Amino acid sequence: MGSGYGRRVDSPSDARSRILDAAEELFAGGGYDATPTARIAAVAGVPKGLVFHYFPRKIDVLVSLVDERTLVTEEDPEPAPGDAARALSKLARRLPLTASPSMRRILFREADTHRSVKDRIHGLNSEIIRRARFALELALPGGRGDAARLEAAAATFAAVLLYQESIAHLTGHTIDADVVADLMATALAQFG
Amino acid sequence: MGSGYGRRVDSPSDARSRILDAAEELFAGGGYDATPTARIAAVAGVPKGLVFHYFPRKIDVLVSLVDERTLVTEEDPEPAPGDAARALSKLARRLPLTASPSMRRILFREADTHRSVKDRIHGLNSEIIRRARFALELALPGGRGDAARLEAAAATFAAVLLYQESIAHLTGHTIDADVVADLMATALAQFG
Amino acid sequence: MGSGYGRRVDSPSDARSRILDAAEELFAGGGYDATPTARIAAVAGVPKGLVFHYFPRKIDVLVSLVDERTLVTEEDPEPAPGDAARALSKLARRLPLTASPSMRRILFREADTHRSVKDRIHGLNSEIIRRARFALELALPGGRGDAARLEAAAATFAAVLLYQESIAHLTGHTIDADVVADLMATALAQFG
Amino acid sequence: MGSGYGRRVDSPSDARSRILDAAEELFAGGGYDATPTARIAAVAGVPKGLVFHYFPRKIDVLVSLVDERTLVTEEDPEPAPGDAARALSKLARRLPLTASPSMRRILFREADTHRSVKDRIHGLNSEIIRRARFALELALPGGRGDAARLEAAAATFAAVLLYQESIAHLTGHTIDADVVADLMATALAQFG
DNA sequence: TATGAATGAGTTTTCATTCAT
DNA sequence: GATGAATGAAAACTCATTCAT
């Protein structure tokens, strides 16, 4: 559970983190609507009232989670390496989205629940597509190429990256992003 | 909305269908949890109690929807045409899943709400991957080929088909399945 | 199940009997309030509507049950035999109440539910006490005796007879009415 | 009404007690099934939701009532006095059951509603029979005696003690336990 | 800050009863 | 008579949110 990235030291307002940890786990598991705030408090091991002390409305828990525990890095990746497949693979590993698997499932699943979540998903996706397109362009000899193909390849790759966990969760099949990167690069290299 | 495919004639006891129509629309829109049964009744134009008459528990509405309004066709497609890209494209259009766009969103989004939904998603996905693999094998010269690549291509294509609407809904980007089919076939044809 | 006394021939309105049989079983088991009419119909193997065809209100099922399946015989028992203990024993076996064990539990348990049930219980009890008193008077030498003792003995014996099944059901202890009869007669014979 | 024995001081959070008081009164009057939780809240003078706050399910009110407001005292009575009749009489007054008349009616009437109630009735009855047997053994000259008679006498006496109020309520006849005690002791003294 | 009792609007569920066929 | 769909009032239960302490 938790954001998965490092244990927080037991500090005064450590309770707040524990509440977010609990919410992350529960929202990813059963969904936002199906998770009572009392349950969050119980899992977090804090009294019910404290949840509302930190998060006046329930939706604030979700919004805070999304705001604080997902990060779309804005800075461009360093100039791509040699080939497109490698660039895509690198992108896969350096996803410009800092978010635990649980957080990705939440982003994905609760998109309609609150505008703030939906906005963030749009942002993420746009950013990933933009970078995938950038990386893939390297694969196109001469830089020209079929715009539609490039777009589809980029969007597909972005979807694989974004929804990897959800796909695995929902279908039981894991998709190896590196292999997909390789396929996309190979395919695009044929045209152009 | 509605079952999407064909209007039912106004027959005695089409109330049940109207309830399912309304539920399909509302579940796809706001989600299962956020939809009160009273709302379903109102949209269906039937009294509240009638929903219970047909579906003793709220979850039964969802389960019935999934059971009755999605169908994973079992029969194999006719022997594939000439090339893999065309075979995949055909698969895209003849998705072995009979379900309206709303139903796909529901399948996808409410997967954790009830086991029955999850089971069906598993079934769907397995079937689509199986067929995608079958179609893509055609693209591999000599029939040999890289199993991992084949698998990744098939799974990616299946994901695109299954989550097309959700991806569009969540990100605003439409993915053209035909183009993806073409890309996959092209990429695989390079190996083998 | 059923009144226990003889199987009814399959006749035109045999359904009515089956409904009463089912109600008897269910009311004795879970109580009147906790038994839905739909359940009665299901156990009786008749459509729900038929219950209301025969018994316009639910309470009519209970009232009919009580009216038709309990009978306080009005005629006095033949002039008592030799001694009081035997007279009481005989009373025990010829209880002036014709009712299956289930019906006795119902009478007992639903007494507050409807006046008709309460009235019948009063009637039953009065009659049994009257006869017990009559039988016990035989035990009193000279016919005189302590009125309070006689009354307590008669009421206790009546309670044992009436609530035998309920006591057994609720406590797991069976009371042998014959032995109690003997005890009462013996005790009273000491006074007088 | 209330638990009947002693008024609780108006202390913080006596709302829970008031809810139990109200439930005790209403369950004894109309029965568990016929008493809506809203009615309990109204009689207790608390908002509807508070009933749930303390008792997540309606049945918990009944179970708590039984668990908290009936007590089968475990300690043995002091060595019985001179004669059996007096020992039984004493038992009658020092019933090893601490429960208001309402609680006894509830125990008795709702026995089938929940296992916890039935279990308690069993416990009570066993204890009372055990003590009645103990007291009655004093009446048997030489300590020998007829086991069946002893058992019947004890069980009958226990039933009179336990169901006193219900019998009075259902039949209108009050049974004087002291007189029954005297009868039982007298009868047993004849044998042995 | 911290706490859990208190509140009440909203939801699900139950079910007796009606009624067209 | 027989049937099961239809109805709606009432009940149980949920839970976000408030608030006194």
SS (H, E, C) B71-131: EECCCCCCCCCCCHHHHHHHHHHCCCEECCHHHHHHHHHCCCCCHHHHHHHHHHHHHHHHH
Q: How is residue A123 written in tokens?
A: 């942002």
The answer to whether residues D107 and D121 touch, using CB atoms and an 8 Å cutoff, is yes
Measured between beta carbons, the chain C residues lying within 8 angstroms of D183 are 149, 152-153, 156, 183-184, 187-188
Measured between beta carbons, the chain D residues lying within 8 angstroms of C173 are 125, 129, 155, 158
CA of A159 vs chain B CAs: smallest distance (Å)? 7
- Nucleotide with the nearest C1' to A38 CA: F15
Question: Which chain D residue has the Cα nearest residue C106?
Answer: D109
Q: How far apart are CA D57 and CA B191, in angstroms?
A: 64
Position with higher pLDDT, D173 vs B129: B129
Q: Do chains D and C touch (3 or more CB pairs under 8 A)?
A: yes
- Mean per-residue pLDDT for B122-135? 84
- Mean per-residue pLDDT for C40-58? 96
Among C137, C138, C145, C142, smallest CA distance to C82 is for C138
Position with higher pLDDT, A76 vs A7: A76
Answer whether A128 touches B (CB < 8 Å). Answer: no
E strand segments, A8-115: 71-72, 97-98
Among C120, C102, C105, C103, smallest CA distance to C163 is for C105
Q: Are strands C71-72 and B71-72 parallel, antiparallel or unpaired?
A: unpaired
Q: Do chains A and B touch (3 or more CB pairs under 8 A)?
A: yes
* Band of residue D81 on the pLDDT scale cut at 50, 70, 90: low
Inform me whether the pLDDT recorded for D131 exceeds 70.
yes
**Which amino acid appears at position C102 of this protein?**
S
What confidence score (pLDDT) does residue D82 get? 63
Q: Is the CB of B56 under 7 A from strand E?
A: yes
Residue D90: Cβ within 10 Å count: 17
Q: Do D152 and C112 touch (CB under 8 A)?
A: no
Answer whether D125 touches C (CB < 8 Å). Answer: yes
Query: Which residue's CA lies closest to nucleotide E11 at its C1' atom?
Result: B36
Among D119, D63, D180, smallest CA distance to C152 is for D180
Of the ranges A129-133, B60-64, B118-122, C187-191, the best mean pLDDT one: B60-64
Answer whether C136 touches D (CB < 8 Å). Answer: no
In this complex, which chains have at least 3 CB pairs below 8 Å with chain B? A
Among C102, C97, C99, smallest CA distance to C129 is for C97
What confidence score (pLDDT) does residue B9 get? 36
- Mean per-residue pLDDT for A127-148? 75
Inform me whether the pLDDT recorded for B85 exceeds 60.
yes
Q: Is the dihedral of CA D133, D139, D142, D148 positive or negative?
A: negative
Position with higher pLDDT, B17 vs D88: B17
pLDDT in tens, C114-138: 787 888 878 878 888 888 888 787 7
Q: Do D156 and C160 touch (CB under 8 A)?
A: yes
Q: How far is CA D101 from CA A33, D93, D110, D115, D175, in A?
A: 46, 13, 14, 21, 15
- Mean per-residue pLDDT for C43-62? 95
Q: Do C182 and D149 touch (CB under 8 A)?
A: yes
Residue D79 CB partners (closer than 8 Å, separation 6+): none
pLDDT in tens, A87-108: 777 777 777 777 888 998 898 8
E strand segments, chain C: 71-72, 97-98
Measured between beta carbons, the chain C residues lying within 8 angstroms of D191 are 186
Distance D127 CA to F18 C1' (A): 49
Q: Do C176 and D152 touch (CB under 8 A)?
A: yes
Torsions phi, psi of C80, nearest 5?
Answer: -55, 150
Q: How far apart are CA C145 and CA C189, in angstroms?
A: 9
Q: Do C34 and D33 touch (CB under 8 A)?
A: yes
Distance A12 CA to F21 C1' (A): 22
- Mean per-residue pLDDT for D124-153? 79
- Going by the DSSP 8-state scheme, the letter that residue C9 receives in this structure is P
Inform me whether the pLDDT recorded for B13 exceeds 70.
no
Q: Is the CB of C56 under 7 A from strand E?
A: yes
Query: Which residue's CA lies closest to nucleotide E6 at its C1' atom?
Result: D50
Answer whether A42 touches B (CB < 8 Å). Answer: no
Q: How far apart are CA A131 and CA A42, in angstroms?
A: 41
Q: How is residue C28 written in tokens?
A: 């004795």
Strand F, CB < 7 A, residues 18-47 of A: 34-38
Radius of gyration of chain A (CA): 19
Inform me whether the pLDDT recorded for B76 exceeds 70.
no
The answer to whether residues A121 and B170 touch, using CB atoms and an 8 Å cutoff, is yes
CA of A13 vs chain B CAs: smallest distance (Å)? 32
Position with higher pLDDT, D170 vs C174: C174
What confidence score (pLDDT) does residue B10 get? 41
Position with higher pLDDT, D139 vs D19: D19
Buried b (16+ CB within 10 A) or exposed e, C46-67: beeeebeebbeebeebbbbbbe
In this complex, which chains have at least 3 CB pairs below 8 Å with chain D? C
Measured between beta carbons, the chain D residues lying within 8 angstroms of C109 are 109
> Percentage of chain C with pLDDT > 70?
82
What confidence score (pLDDT) does residue A143 get? 52
Inform me whether the pLDDT recorded for B113 exceeds 80.
yes
- Mean per-residue pLDDT for A119-134? 82
* Band of residue B97 on the pLDDT scale cut at 50, 70, 90: confident
The single residue listed with the structure tokens 């049940």 is B16
- Prediction pTM value: 0.84
In this complex, which chains have at least 3 CB pairs below 8 Å with chain C? D
Distance A59 CA to E3 C1' (A): 22
Inform me whether the pLDDT recorded for C165 exceeds 90.
no
Inform me whether the pLDDT recorded for D9 exceeds 70.
no
- Report residue B119 CA to chain centroid gap: 13
What confidence score (pLDDT) does residue A122 get? 81
Q: Which ranges of chain D does DSSP label H, i.e. alpha helix?
A: 15-30, 37-44, 48-54, 58-69, 84-93, 101-109, 115-137, 147-171, 177-190
Measured between beta carbons, the chain A residues lying within 8 angstroms of B136 are none
> Percentage of chain D with pLDDT > 70?
84
Measured between beta carbons, the chain B residues lying within 8 angstroms of A129 are 173
The answer to whether residues C174 and C168 touch, using CB atoms and an 8 Å cutoff, is yes
pLDDT in tens, D163-187: 888 888 777 778 888 899 888 888 8
Q: Do D163 and C167 touch (CB under 8 A)?
A: yes
Nearest to C179 among D149, D167, D176 (CB): D149
- Mean per-residue pLDDT for B83-94? 76
Buried b (16+ CB within 10 A) or exposed e, D24-34: bbbbbeebbbe
The single residue listed with the structure tokens 């009373």 is C91
Distance B187 CA to E9 C1' (A): 59
Answer whether A180 touches B (CB < 8 Å). Answer: yes
Residue C191: Cβ within 10 Å count: 16
Measured between beta carbons, the chain A residues lying within 8 angstroms of B30 are 112
- Torsion angle of alpha carbons D38, D41, D46, D50, nearest 10°? -80
Question: Which chain D residue has the Cα nearest residue C127?
Answer: D171
What confidence score (pLDDT) does residue D7 get? 32
Q: How many CA atoms lie within 13 A of C88 on its CB side?
A: 31
Distance B9 CA to E21 C1' (A): 20
What confidence score (pLDDT) does residue A113 get? 76
Residue B158 CB partners (closer than 8 Å, separation 6+): A171, A173, B125, B128, B129, B132
Strand F, CB < 7 A, residues 28-57 of C: 46-50, 52-53
